Amino acid sequence: MNPTENSKNAYIEASKYFPGGVNSPVRAFKNVGGNPLFIDHGKGSHIFDIDGNEYVDYVLSWGPLILGHADDEVVKELKGAVEKGTSYGAPTTLETDLAKMITSIVPSIEMMRMVSSGTEATMSAIRLARGFTNREKILKFVGNYHGHSDSLLVDAGSGVATFDINTSPGVPKDLAYDTYTVAYNDIDAVKELFDNHGDEIACAIVEPIAGNMGVIPGTQAFLDTLRSETTKHGSLLIFDEVMSGFRAAFHGAQSLYNITPDLTTLGKVVGGGLPVGVFGGRKDIMSEITPAGKIYHAGTLSGNPLAMTGGISTLKQLNDDLYAQMIGKVDTLTEGIKKVADQNNVPITVHHVGTMWSYFFNAGPVNNFADVQKSDQKFFAKFFNELIKQGIYTAPSEFETNFMTSKHTDGDIQKTITAFDVAMKKLRNKDMTQFRD
Ligand code: PMP
């Protein structure tokens, strides 16, 4: 590997203009004590930094790039789209084309609105739920992250957890007060809350497969309880599938649990690397949105033709066979990681669902946010940097998820398992604070 001097200098320069040198916090690598790598380009499963180093990428823009970087077909269609014009602020048939694909893949979404980020999707879905039910309280789960709108920045995962912020300064107290939070997978706490406050709750929003405290699947019983309690009390159930949509399974986490939420939010893969978010669901609820109804929603770049093209050209390449292949690769990788951890006597818990995977330096079980917090964060930080030195680019926090693409090769996967082995041999005992008995 070359020294990362160019990235260091680029970071110093960027820090003059952006708080912490970045435009989204976890990118700064602050919690892993490092200097972020500035990326020049990507192709397939690999990214290349501005010092000429090549990495096997499992971050993949935090999930969207299920076909890898610069997929030939996606690039071709985007080039065609850009030549026609970049934005009109008027309808195009591209929006309907993408919407038809979404309803066929995720049938609970009968009607939808296109937006430009996951944050916008969840924020709008919450407003819709409040307007539809005429209630103000919402329920979310500790360690779930739904973007950075005020009502949802309470006990959140992802960067909020990485930097140990409970509720961000700047969130009005009243809004935080309207957000009930309960531990993930805690069925009794959900029942108790609905028994006491059910008729005030507009909606429960949940990541059915949590991906913002590492990967933690909701249990079937937990999600079934959420479905039945919300129905019983006239609240809406929102599945935030910004991450798990097209990732946990082709048809989303909802297909794995056989649960139909009232509303679903999508993002990431649905735009194929361009800015797209979606909120949608029951037609009677969606019909309350302006101008069909009175609950306000709008966006200058909503349904942008380039963004729609990114989504269409990505979704049309997805199919069950491709998922079976990607899941096979995740199985090989995670089995390999567990095996080398065992051989090196390193306590580890590895979770994976579909094309999402993560690991915790924690003997487990890891079922909620409090369990993740027991992991060895210092060891994780050193380990992450060892992987980087070996050309493996993974999520820089235990509160994040790694992904797989259709482009990762057997060679990439074997290289990654070897890198885990080498890093464990180098760091175990000396740097670990948790040991096996
Ligand atoms: N919901 C979930 C489940 C997410 O994982 C994320 C982003 N990681 C968001 C919402 C917010 O999406 P965005 O960053 O596009 O605003």
Quick one: which of 381, 423, 429, 355 has its CA closest to 64?
355
**φ, ψ at 37 (rounded to 5°):** -85, 135
- Supply the residue whose CA is at minimum distance from atom 5 of ligand 1: 243
Q: Are 115 and 144 in contact (CB under 8 A)?
A: no
Q: Could you report the average pLDDT of every consecutive run of 10 residues in the chain (437 residues)?
A: 95 98 95 94 98 98 98 98 98 98 98 98 98 98 96 84 80 91 97 98 98 98 98 98 98 98 98 98 98 98 98 98 98 98 96 98 95 94 97 96 98 98 91 59
Measure the CA–CA gap between 146 and 150, rounded to whole angstroms.
10
**φ, ψ at 392 (rounded to 5°):** -120, 120
Vertex 343, ends 342 and 348: CA angle to 5°?
Answer: 30
Kindly report whether the peptide bond that precedes residue 291 is cis, defined as omega within 30 degrees of 0: yes
273 lines ligand 1 (CB under 6 A): no
Which of the four CATH numbers 3.90.1150.10, 3.40.50.261, 3.20.20.70, 3.20.20.140 does domain 5-70+318-427 have? 3.90.1150.10
pLDDT score for 437: 40
Measure the CA–CA gap between 293 and 291, rounded to whole angstroms.
5
**The one-letter amino acid at 191:** K
Nearest atom, ligand 1, residue 275 CA: 15
The tokens for 124 are: 């709008």
Q: Where do the H-state alpha helices sit in 249-303?
A: 253-257, 283-286
Instruction: Look at the block and give the residue holding tokens 């990607």.
Output: 326
196 to 226, 233, 314: CA distances (angstroms): 15, 11, 45
Q: Are 57 and 263 in contact (CB under 8 A)?
A: no
Per DSSP, the residues of 399-434 read TS-EE--TT--HHHHHHHHHHHHHHHHHHTTTS-S-
pTM of the predicted model as reported, rounded to 2 decimal places = 0.97
Task: Tell how far the Cα of 421 is from the centroid of ligand 1, in angstroms.
Answer: 32
Helix (H) or strand (E) holding 327: helix 320-343
73-315 under CATH 3.60.15.10, yes or no: no
Instruction: Look at the block and give the residue holding tokens 């009175």.
Output: 294
211 lines ligand 1 (CB under 6 A): yes
119 lines ligand 1 (CB under 6 A): yes
Per DSSP, the residues of 180-248 read EEE-TT-HHHHHHHHHHHGGGEEEEEE-SEE-SSS-EEPPHHHHHHHHHHHHHHT-EEEEE-TTTBTTT
Kindly report whether the peptide bond that precedes residue 365 is cis, defined as omega within 30 degrees of 0: yes
**Among 23, 145, 213, 276, which is best to mutate for testing ligand 1, by the most ligand atoms less than 8 A from CB?**
145
Which 8-state DSSP code applies to residue 48?
A: E
144 lines ligand 1 (CB under 6 A): no
The tokens for 139 are: 């329920």
Measure the CA–CA gap between 360 and 27, rounded to whole angstroms.
20
147 lines ligand 1 (CB under 6 A): yes
212 lines ligand 1 (CB under 6 A): yes
Domain spans of the chain? 5-70+318-427, 73-315
Nearest atom, ligand 1, residue 118 CA: 12
Cβ-based neighbours of 6, under 8 Å, separated by 6 or more: 38, 49, 50, 51
Task: Tell how far the Cα of 145 is from the centroid of ligand 1, in angstroms.
Answer: 7
Nearest atom, ligand 1, residue 120 CA: 16
> Cα 393 vs. chain centroid, distance in angstroms?
17
122 lines ligand 1 (CB under 6 A): yes
Task: Tell how far the Cα of 241 is from the centroid of ligand 1, in angstroms.
Answer: 9
Measure the CA–CA gap between 245 and 275, rounded to whole angstroms.
15
- Supply the residue whose CA is at minimum distance from atom 1 of ligand 1: 146
Looking at the annotation, which residues are catalytic? Answer: 145, 240, 268
Q: How many CB atoms lie under 10 A from the CB of residue 90?
A: 6
